[in-house]
């Protein structure tokens, strides 16, 4: 038995989910209100028999691990660790078997938690730290307690001595990143500084950031925990454990530069505020925040470092699939100052955000003289590489037109410059087979329609006459593409057997068709989710009703696909050469034939 199966054997999916959603028994299943939408009628279903959940409101579903990933904004590894602790499963025994052992993470978490309490006790007794927090920063006692603010004594080995007295070794202290090797021996990493614990998404302390409290030009203002097995600044989002619910509810996140800016925003009841280390916003940061919202608003200083960070972030946001915008604050101010001056003004500033590339174009329009040849060249040198790296062709076309209008440079000249960029600057762009680009709400409905047609054709083989009209390029989920491919290649597969036997056979066949990777469990869970959908929506319907539903869903999927594909082709057609125009028109003709074919079957 592996770790995943061990956890599943010890935890029931309904118990895990009931910590987040109020569930009521309805026959073999449990039901509750969707935690992802504001619905008033329960459509969130949990099946203990299948160990699966599905939200009919949002179209999401999966096993207990995917649910925790959704609710906590975690990757699979972190969700595994969270559920392992809940189940009392020691993951180290599995890691030792496969990797030969390593640091005991639970010991390190315990060490850092103890260190946090030690720093808090020292804070309550240090007048300098108290005055800085309560008088200069104007934080309340409740805020200081919520963020576990502390103080590191300037004695040299205070923390080391304390942790040794509690049974921790010097090796463990090094692994946790709280010590430094000095001439006199092993000493405290942090001395005479305000201590701000760095917590993961579940609130466990993984490191510290330490601010100096006295004026010392030779000393850095902030010192962070070095990279450890628990802390990686490229993956850590400060304040997420206290911000994630507000982000999910407000549907946007504010990213600021300073950790104390985050704390000030939370004190002003703007809880969807987080920070990253300086202005180093990474793809991983965006992916983490993207699990809670697609609307991410940056509030970095409008200096060279802030502008550079914005430039780096735009293609990353496009790649991850989030919308990146900029919050402009008054010159010389930071969020903490704005909050102390007027919390309402900070909220208004957040709401007055501007899409990142538009903001960047406006900024460089002011910095450069784009009425001159040199200014036009510099302006396009900066912006065209960013436009090239946008993943959406319609968005690319929009910004090429905008740059053309702003500079007075023709589209033909911009296209030529775009296509003649030096090879070393060009990045290979994948053209994945993917579902059409749609607004969030439309994409949810489009994905639900795909799941429903697959549920019908999986469980009711007579309806598979509709499958030849569907292609993998029309589908949004990787799992739905795999299942469609499976049904295309196994048209006689009997989906009407008893659930247990049927699911076992599907899992086996899917494993054979997907042996090159490790997504078998995901596909198996997806199939279980489709069976649950079929049982909830269709199993009591007459055959004529099922045929009508399959026909309706097929038409909807094909029409949406054709419409969005034509929109993409239209944007390309405006600047296509003769050969490209012929090719695009031929593709449009094929789309029209597909639409006629599906409509003719209506």
Residue 277 maps to which CATH number?
A: 3.40.1360.10
Task: Collapse the DSSP code of 263 into the 3-class scheme (helix H, G, I; strand E, B; otherwise coil) and give the result.
Answer: helix
Q: Does residue 188 sit in the same domain as residue 95?
A: no
Q: Would you say 195 and 178 are in contact if contact means Cβ atoms under 8 Å apart?
A: no
pLDDT for 260 equals 92
pLDDT for 74 equals 82
Q: Which of 240, 255, 244 is nearest to 326 (CA)?
A: 255
Q: Judge whether 309 lies within some domain.
A: yes
Asked which of 99, 127, 142 is the last residue of a domain, the reply is: 99
Higher pLDDT, 600 or 476: 476
Q: Does residue 281 sit in the same domain as residue 342?
A: yes
pLDDT for 437 equals 57
Distance, CA of 218 to CA of 517 (rounded, Å): 53
Enter the tokens of residue 408: 């007075």
Written in H, E and C, the secondary structure of 318-364 is HHHCCEEEECCCCCCCCHHHHHHHCHHHHHHHHHCCEEHHHHHHHHH
Distance, CA of 253 to CA of 299 (rounded, Å): 11
How far the first Cα of the chain sits from its last, in Å, is: 50
Asked which of 296, 323, 354 is the last residue of a domain, the reply is: 354
| pLDDT at residue 99 greater than cutoff 80 | no
To the nearest 10 degrees (0 to 180), the angle between helices 76-87 and 3-10 is 50
Q: 561-597, pLDDT tens digit by residue? A: 888 888 777 777 766 777 777 887 888 788 888 887 7
Q: Which of 68, 58, 66 is nearest to 16 (CA)?
A: 68
Q: Judge whether 524 lies within some domain.
A: yes
pLDDT for 331 equals 65
Q: Does residue 121 sit in the same domain as residue 94?
A: no
Q: 147-206, pLDDT tens digit by residue? A: 999 999 998 899 999 999 999 999 999 999 999 888 777 899 999 999 999 999 889 999
Q: Judge whether 525 lies within some domain.
A: yes
Q: Which residues pair with 180 in a beta bridge?
A: 187
Q: Does residue 91 sit in the same domain as residue 8?
A: yes
For CA atoms 325, 328, 281, 286, the dihedral sign is negative
Q: Does residue 344 sit in the same domain as residue 285?
A: yes
pLDDT for 263 equals 96
Q: Judge whether 174 lies within some domain.
A: yes
| pLDDT at residue 512 greater than cutoff 80 | no
What average pLDDT does this structure show over 53-73?
Answer: 89
Provide the mean pLDDT of the chain: 84
Distance, CA of 491 to CA of 504 (rounded, Å): 18
95: confidence class by pLDDT, cuts 50, 70, 90: low
Residue 81 structural domain: 3-99
pLDDT for 517 equals 42
Asked which of 66, 99, 132 is the last residue of a domain, the reply is: 99
Within 10 angstroms of residue 434's Cβ, the number of other Cβ atoms is: 15
What average pLDDT does this structure show over 548-566?
Answer: 88
| pLDDT at residue 471 greater than cutoff 60 | yes
Q: Which of 342, 103, 101 is nearest to 227 (CA)?
A: 103
Please state the domain count of the chain: 5
pLDDT for 597 equals 78
Within 10 angstroms of residue 378's Cβ, the number of other Cβ atoms is: 16
Q: Which helix (H) or strand (E) holds 123?
A: helix 105-123
Distance, CA of 59 to CA of 66 (rounded, Å): 13
Q: Does residue 285 sit in the same domain as residue 147?
A: no
DSSP per-residue string spanning 233-247 = TTT--BTHHHHHHHH
pLDDT for 279 equals 65
Q: Judge whether 431 lies within some domain.
A: no
| pLDDT at residue 93 greater than cutoff 50 | yes
pLDDT for 218 equals 84
CATH number of the CATH domain containing 201: 3.90.980.10
Q: Judge whether 194 lies within some domain.
A: yes
For CA atoms 151, 156, 158, 163, the dihedral sign is positive
Q: Does residue 109 sit in the same domain as residue 66?
A: no
pLDDT for 499 equals 45
Q: Does residue 418 sit in the same domain as residue 449?
A: no
Please work out, in degrees rounded to the nearest 5, the angle formed at the alpha carbon of residue 38 by the alpha carbons of 37 and 42.
Answer: 85
Q: Does residue 8 sit in the same domain as residue 59?
A: yes
Q: Is 319 exposed, middle or buried (0-12, 13-18, 19+ CB in 10 A)?
A: middle
CA torsion 156-158-164-169 (nearest 10°) is: -40
Q: Judge whether 229 lies within some domain.
A: no
| pLDDT at residue 514 greater than cutoff 80 | no
Higher pLDDT, 375 or 393: 375
CATH number of the CATH domain containing 466: 1.10.860
Q: 31-57, pLDDT tens digit by residue? A: 999 988 888 889 999 998 888 999 998
CATH number of the CATH domain containing 39: 3.90.580.10
| pLDDT at residue 75 greater than cutoff 60 | yes
342: confidence class by pLDDT, cuts 50, 70, 90: confident
Q: 118-142, pLDDT tens digit by residue? A: 999 999 999 999 999 999 999 999 9
Q: Which of 289, 358, 359 is nearest to 322 (CA)?
A: 289
**Distances in whole angstroms, Cα of residue 479 to Cα of each of 33, 465, 583:** 25, 21, 31
Q: What pTM was estimated for this model as a whole?
A: 0.71
What average pLDDT does this structure show over 476-484?
Answer: 86
Within 10 angstroms of residue 10's Cβ, the number of other Cβ atoms is: 13
Q: 256-310, pLDDT tens digit by residue? A: 988 999 999 999 999 999 998 876 788 889 988 988 888 999 988 767 777 788 8
Q: Does residue 168 sit in the same domain as residue 304?
A: no
Q: Which residues pair with 274 in a beta bridge?
A: 255
pLDDT for 430 equals 36
Q: Does residue 220 sit in the same domain as residue 248?
A: no
Q: Judge whether 359 lies within some domain.
A: no
Q: Does residue 310 sit in the same domain as residue 338?
A: yes
What average pLDDT does this structure show over 375-380?
Answer: 91
Q: 403-431, pLDDT tens digit by residue? A: 999 999 998 899 888 877 543 343 433 33
What average pLDDT does this structure show over 213-239?
Answer: 90
């Amino acid at each position: 038995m592996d770790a995943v199966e061990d956890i599943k054997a010890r935890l029931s999916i309904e118990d895990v989910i009931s910590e987040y959603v109020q569930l009521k028994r309805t026959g073999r299943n449990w039901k509750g209100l969707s935690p992802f939408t504001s619905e008033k009628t329960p459509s969130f279903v949990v099946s203990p028999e299948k160990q699966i959940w599905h939200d009919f409101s949002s179209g999401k579903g999966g096993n207990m691990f995917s649910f925790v990933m959704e609710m906590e904004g975690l990757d699979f590894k972190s969700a595994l660790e969270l559920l392992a602790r809940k189940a009392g499963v020691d993951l180290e025994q599995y890691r030792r078997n496969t990797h030969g052992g390593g640091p005991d993470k639970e010991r390190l978490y315990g060490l850092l938690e103890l260190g946090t309490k030690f720093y808090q006790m020292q804070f309550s007794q240090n007048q300098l730290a108290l005055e800085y927090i309560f008088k200069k920063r104007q934080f309340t006692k409740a805020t200081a307690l919520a963020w576990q603010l502390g103080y590191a004594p300037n004695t040299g080995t205070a923390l080391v001595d304390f942790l040794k007295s509690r049974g921790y070794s010097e090796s463990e202290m090094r692994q946790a990143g709280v010590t430094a090797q000095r001439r006199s021996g092993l000493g405290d990493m942090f001395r005479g500084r305000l201590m701000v614990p760095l917590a993961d998404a579940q609130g466990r302390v993984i490191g510290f950031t330490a601010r100096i409290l006295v004026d010392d030009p030779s000393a850095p203002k902030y010192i962070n925990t070095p990279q450890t097995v628990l802390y990686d600044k490229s993956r850590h989002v400060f304040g997420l454990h206290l911000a994630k619910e507000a982000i999910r509810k407000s549907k946007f996140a504010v990213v600021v530069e300073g950790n104390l800016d985050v704390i000030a925003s939370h004190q002003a009841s703007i809880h969807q505020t987080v920070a990253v280390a300086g202005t180093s916003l990474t793809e991983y940061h965006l992916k983490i925040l993207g699990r809670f919202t697609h609307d991410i608003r940056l509030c970095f200083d409008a200096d060279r470092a802030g502008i550079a960070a914005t430039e780096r972030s735009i293609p990353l946001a496009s790649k991850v699939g989030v919308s990146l915008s900029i919050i402009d604050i008054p010159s010389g101010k930071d969020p903490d100052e704005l909050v102390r001056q007027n919390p309402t003004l900070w909220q208004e500033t957040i709401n007055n955000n501007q899409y990142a590339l538009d903001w960047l174009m406006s900024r460089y329009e002011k910095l450069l003289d784009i009425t001159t040849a040199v200014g036009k060249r510099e302006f396009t040198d900066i912006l065209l590489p960013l436009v090239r790296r946008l993943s959406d062709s319609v968005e690319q076309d929009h910004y090429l037109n905008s740059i053309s209008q702003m500079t007075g440079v023709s589209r033909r000249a911009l296209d030529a410059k775009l296509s003649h960029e030096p090879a070393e600057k060009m990045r290979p762009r994948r053209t994945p087979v993917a579902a059409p680009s749609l607004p969030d709400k439309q994409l949810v409905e489009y994905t639900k329609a795909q799941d429903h047609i697959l549920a019908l054709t999986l469980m009711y083989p007579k309806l598979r006459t509709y499958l030849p009209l569907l292609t993998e390029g029309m589908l949004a989920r990787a799992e739905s593409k795999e299942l469609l491919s499976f049904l295309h290649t196994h048209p006689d597969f009997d989906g009407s057997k008893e659930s247990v036997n049927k699911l076992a056979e599907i899992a086996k066949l899917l494993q054979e068709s997907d042996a090159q990777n490790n997504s078998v469990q995901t596909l198996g869970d997806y199939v279980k989710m489709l069976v649950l959908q079929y049982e909830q929506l269709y199993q009591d319907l007459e055959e004529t009703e099922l045929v009508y539903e399959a026909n309706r869903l097929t038409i909807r999927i094909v029409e949406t696909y054709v419409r969005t594909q034509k929109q993409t082709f239209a944007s390309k057609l405006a600047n296509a050469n003769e050969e490209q125009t012929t090719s695009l028109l031929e593709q449009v003709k094929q789309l029209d034939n597909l639409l006629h074919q599906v409509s003719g079957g209506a």
